[in-house]
């Protein structure tokens, strides 16, 4: 899509957003309050003295009141449903269907009362705590399953063995894990040959035990780029083998014989402050308090509602949810219960739903909202979602990831395509706390979306994932714009084969531009963690004007693909090789032009560069250690004699302050003479109010254990 077309499309999206947000002052107004009554008309912000009118009690009640007015033909103007501050507890999602839609001329907005904070809560308070020795204990319904416990607003760790050295298992030392002794061999029913089992492995003596609640224990097993969360079916203590109730996605010991894992929800592992354990059979939850906590000063919450809000259109039938907006709301606590057979996704926590989920939504907006404390993704624009937006919102403390757009398969009809959605100016952070393979933003088989000005950080796998096609299949995700995002502190040493941005498949018209990708730290035992990662057939993608720095295994990696263009970027300070090219093919892999590559370790190119099916030219390379720079074992002159890096130079690009990661160029930089255009990275990330822009700076995190760049 050319520049003018893209600006036109974005302009249309902005007009659609404003038409929903700027509802006229004379709009019909209904009020909702915790002291309301769904039998009242809802026309007053507070109950009248006669107790005959006042606010409605629930958001669902307001929705139903509007349905009634519509049915009576009394609803033709814009509507504001103004929600007073306080907590609105739910046990099941608030569902909006096509009959709850607004129109372009008469949109419907569910918004916070000025100066107040309404909270939609899918949680349930656990009270009646009493002390038993070093533990607190409280009663919950028998046979109730829940996946998380929050105490005083903070997510607590299920009882775990071995204990993690750092919160949420980030940057794990070897002592964080148990290690498999090896696979169990079984006959493959299809081939009749012996193969590694996906339901059994050998464990080291003493690591697994016949704990009293063996069927409720959860074994979290690490693969390369994903985890499995499995339940134990049986232990064979004589053979030291464990069998699970369901399979892992890959056979055990697929990558390493000593695959790493840990065990949760075992009473015998309840030995560290902040841990908790659920005995489902007796209906008791146990908690080891943090310093200063008493049974009387803790507020404990468990998640009950599986989702919080759903927009349920039926796009295959041509039924859509139109012109609804949600503004200023907080949405907290959503449960994801792991099934008895466990869960093992192939990638990106693909099967996990979202707390706010829309199907067949058109021209709907979520603005200045917060989605937090859930076992799921935050928000998902699913099949048939078009011209929707998420803006100026925060998604945090997620068991899975932040945002999803589209589905994993091609849409069956035009109505079911997910297109033209905007995710702009959002703070998405602290996800993958249960399902570590979840990503900050996942864009599946969806096109013409814009992901811009977001701060995406502190996920345990990739920050952004774009496309969902392996190899050179027909294009199913194209013309997506990823721009001005600040993506950092991802991986956390937990998973591998990941990137700050990760792409899949043929994606004509997709542009990755003006982003800041930095501080990517994968688990180094299997694969890598890169800044920009073109995986599995990534094709026809433009990456331009990005700054990529501080990665473990490479700032740019193309596994395989065709005709990608990498132009006018800064790639700096990978702690292994800087640029990685894996599979060699008969076509051109990529064009690499007018880039600056800065490093300090004598390692420029990694993997396979022998067949010459790539085009490099007008680049500036510099090693601050003054080590000789080799181009796949060749000098620059030898490399250029083979037709590569014509007009490229080895020269100090003359950044303002490399130590402070100030990548502004001085006026006499040799890169400018090559045609390099300066990049203003200050434009990446959040914009707006000072408090909002500075919010990411308040996060305190454990620094990655990467060596410091000079």
Give the pLDDT of residue 16: 47
Give the pLDDT of residue 25: 54
Give the pLDDT of residue 450: 98
Give the pLDDT of residue 2: 43
**Residues present in the chain in total:** 710
pLDDT per residue as tens digits for the range 223-273: 999 999 999 999 999 999 999 999 999 999 999 999 999 999 999 999 999
pLDDT per residue as tens digits for the range 99-135: 999 999 999 999 999 999 999 999 999 999 999 999 9
Our measurement of the distance from residue 379's CA atom to the centroid of its chain's CA atoms, rounded to an integer in Å, reads: 10
The mean-pLDDT minimum among 191-200, 295-304, 589-598 falls in: 191-200
In the Cβ-directed half-sphere of 692, how many Cα atoms lie within 13 Å?
18
Give the pLDDT of residue 127: 97
Judged against a pLDDT cut of 50, whether residue 364 lies above it is answered with yes
In angstroms, the CA 254 to CA 518 distance is 30
476 neighbors 468 (Cβ within 8 angstroms): yes
What does the H/E/C string look like for 123-188? EEEECCCEEECCEEEEECCCCCCCCCCEECCEECEECEECCCCCHHHCCCCHHHCEEEEEEEEEEC
> 278-301: b or e for each residue (b if 16 or more CB lie within 10 Å)?
bbbeeebbbbbbeeebeeeebebb
Highest mean predicted confidence (pLDDT) among 92-101, 208-217, 470-479: 92-101
The mean-pLDDT minimum among 4-13, 350-359, 360-369 falls in: 4-13
Residue ranges of alpha helices (H) inside 183-301 are: none
Kindly give the pairing relationship between strand 486-490 and strand 455-457.
Answer: parallel
Mean pLDDT of 639-643: 97
Give the pLDDT of residue 513: 98
Give the pLDDT of residue 415: 98
pLDDT per residue as tens digits for the range 581-637: 999 999 999 999 999 999 999 999 999 999 999 999 999 999 999 999 999 999 999
3-state SS assignment for residue 65: helix
Q: Which two tokens stand for residue 197?
A: 């089992």
In angstroms, the CA 614 to CA 684 distance is 30
With 0-12 / 13-18 / 19 or more C-beta atoms within 10 angstroms meaning exposed / middle / buried, residue 386 is buried
In angstroms, the CA 674 to CA 617 distance is 10
Give the pLDDT of residue 706: 67
Q: Which two tokens stand for residue 516?
A: 């800041």
In angstroms, the CA 276 to CA 313 distance is 39
Give the pLDDT of residue 419: 98
Give the pLDDT of residue 707: 55
29 backbone dihedrals φ, ψ, rounded to 5°? -125, 130
Report residue 14's pLDDT band, with 50, 70 and 90 as the boundaries: very low
Domain locations along the chain? 28-122, 497-508+520-685
Q: Find the angle CA(433)-CA(132)-CA(164) to the nearest 5 degrees.
A: 25
Judged against a pLDDT cut of 70, whether residue 688 lies above it is answered with yes
DSSP β-bridge partners for residue 441 = 403, 464
Q: Which residues lie closer than 8 Å to 387 by C-beta, 6 or more apart?
A: 12, 13, 16, 362, 363, 419, 420, 421
Give the pLDDT of residue 188: 81
Alpha-carbon distance values, 318 to 102, 321, 447 (Å): 16, 10, 20
In angstroms, the CA 282 to CA 243 distance is 25
Mean pLDDT of 502-517: 98
Give the other-Cβ count within 10 Å of 319's Cβ.
Answer: 16
Judged against a pLDDT cut of 70, whether residue 79 lies above it is answered with yes
In angstroms, the CA 276 to CA 159 distance is 5
pLDDT per residue as tens digits for the range 519-528: 999 998 888 9
What does the H/E/C string look like for 301-335? EEECCCCCEEEECEHHHCECEECEEEECCEEEEEC
Mean pLDDT of 637-644: 97
DSSP β-bridge partners for residue 263 = 161, 219
DSSP string across 393-427: -EEEEESS-SEEES-SS--SSGGG--BS-EEES-E
Alpha-carbon distance values, 198 to 183, 195, 230 (Å): 9, 9, 11
In angstroms, the CA 456 to CA 439 distance is 9
**For the sheet containing 154-155, what is the strand order?**
123-126, 300-303, 150-151, 154-155
Judged against a pLDDT cut of 60, whether residue 8 lies above it is answered with no
Mean pLDDT of 658-683: 96
The overall average pLDDT reported for the chain is 94
pTM summary value: 0.95
Task: Report the largest interatomic distance among the alpha carbons of the chain, rounded to a whole angstrom.
Answer: 92
116 neighbors 333 (Cβ within 8 angstroms): no
Alpha-carbon distance values, 1 to 226, 449, 542 (Å): 34, 12, 12
Q: Which two tokens stand for residue 30?
A: 């209904």
Q: Which two tokens stand for residue 339?
A: 């099934």
110 neighbors 62 (Cβ within 8 angstroms): yes
Alpha-carbon distance values, 96 to 272, 312, 402 (Å): 43, 6, 22
């Amino acid at each position: 899509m050319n520049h003018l077309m893209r600006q036109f499309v974005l302009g249309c999206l902005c007009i659609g957003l404003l038409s929903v947000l700027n509802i006229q002052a004379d709009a019909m107004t209904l009020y909702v309050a915790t002291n309301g009554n769904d039998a009242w008309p809802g026309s007053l912000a507070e109950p009248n003295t006669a107790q005959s009118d006042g606010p409605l009690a629930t958001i669902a009640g307001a929705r139903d009141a509007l349905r009634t007015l519509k049915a009576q033909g009394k609803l033709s103007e814009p509507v504001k449903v103004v929600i007073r501050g306080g907590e609105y507890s739910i046990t099941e999602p608030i569902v909006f269907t096509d009959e709850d839609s607004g129109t372009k001329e008469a949109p419907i907005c569910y918004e916070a009362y000025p100066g107040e904070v309404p909270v939609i809560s899918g949680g349930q308070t656990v009270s009646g705590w009493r002390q038993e020795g070093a533990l607190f204990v409280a009663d919950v319904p028998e046979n109730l399953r829940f996946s998380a416990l929050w105490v005083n607003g903070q997510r607590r760790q299920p009882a775990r063995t071995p204990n993690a050295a750092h919160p949420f298992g980030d940057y794990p030392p070897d002592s964080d894990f148990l290690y498999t002794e090896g696979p169990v061999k079984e006959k493959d029913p299809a081939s009749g040959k012996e193969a590694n089992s996906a339901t059994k492995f050998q464990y080291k003596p003493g690591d697994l035990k016949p704990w009293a609640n063996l069927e409720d224990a959860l074994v979290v097993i690490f693969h390369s780029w994903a985890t499995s969360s499995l339940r134990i079916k049986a232990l064979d203590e004589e053979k030291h083998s464990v069998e699970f109730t369901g399979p892992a996605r890959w056979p055990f010991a697929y990558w390493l014989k000593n695959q790493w894992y840990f065990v949760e929800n075992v009473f015998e592992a309840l030995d560290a402050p902040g841990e908790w354990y659920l005995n489902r059979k007796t209906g008791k939850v146990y908690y080891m308090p943090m310093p200063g906590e008493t049974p009387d000063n803790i507020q404990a919450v468990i998640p009950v509602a599986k989702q919080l809000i759903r927009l349920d259109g039926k796009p295959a039938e041509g039924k859509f949810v139109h012109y609804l907006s949600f503004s200023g709301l907080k949405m907290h606590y959503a449960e994801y219960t792991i099934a008895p057979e466990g869960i093992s996704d192939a990638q990106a926590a693909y099967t996990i739903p979202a707390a706010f989920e829309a199907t067949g939504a058109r021209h709907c907006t979520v603005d200045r909202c917060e989605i937090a404390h859930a076992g799921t993704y935050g928000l998902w624009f699913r099949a048939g979602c078009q011209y929707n937006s998420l803006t100026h919102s925060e998604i945090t403390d997620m068991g899975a990831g932040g945002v999803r757009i589209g589905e994993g398969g091609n849409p069956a009809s035009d109505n079911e395509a997910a297109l033209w959605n905007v995710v702009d100016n959002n703070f998405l952070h602290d996800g993958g706390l249960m399902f570590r393979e979840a990503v900050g933003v996942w864009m599946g088989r969806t096109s013409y979306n814009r992901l811009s000005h977001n701060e995406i950080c502190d996920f345990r796998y990739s920050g952004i994932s774009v496309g969902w096609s392996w190899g050179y299949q027909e294009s199913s995700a194209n013309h997506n714009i990823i721009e001005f995002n600040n993506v950092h502190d991802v991986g956390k040493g937990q998973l591998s084969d990941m990137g700050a941005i990760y792409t899949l498949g043929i994606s004509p018209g997709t542009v990755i531009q003006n982003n800041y990708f930095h501080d990517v730290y994968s688990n180094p035992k299997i694969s890598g963690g890169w800044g920009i990662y073109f995986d599995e057939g990534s094709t026809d993608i433009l990456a331009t004007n990005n700054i990529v720095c501080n990665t473990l295994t490479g700032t740019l990696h193309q596994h395989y693909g065709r005709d990608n263009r990498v132009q006018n970027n800064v790639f700096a300070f990978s702690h292994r090789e800087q640029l990685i090219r894996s599979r060699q093919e008969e076509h051109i892999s990529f064009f690499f032009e007018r880039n600056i590559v800065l490093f300090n370790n004598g390692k420029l190119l990694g993997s396979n560069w022998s067949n010459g099916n790539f085009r490099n030219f007008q680049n500036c390379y510099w090693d601050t250690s003054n080590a000789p720079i080799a181009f796949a074992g060749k000098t620059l002159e030898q490399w250029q004699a083979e037709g590569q890096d014509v007009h490229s130079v080895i020269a100090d690009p003359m950044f303002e302050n490399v130590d402070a990661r100030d990548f502004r160029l001085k006026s006499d930089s040799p890169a400018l003479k090559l045609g390099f255009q300066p990049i203003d990275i200050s434009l990446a990330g959040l914009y707006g109010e000072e408090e909002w822009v500075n919010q990411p700076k308040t996060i305190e995190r454990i620094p990655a254990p990467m060596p410091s760049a000079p």
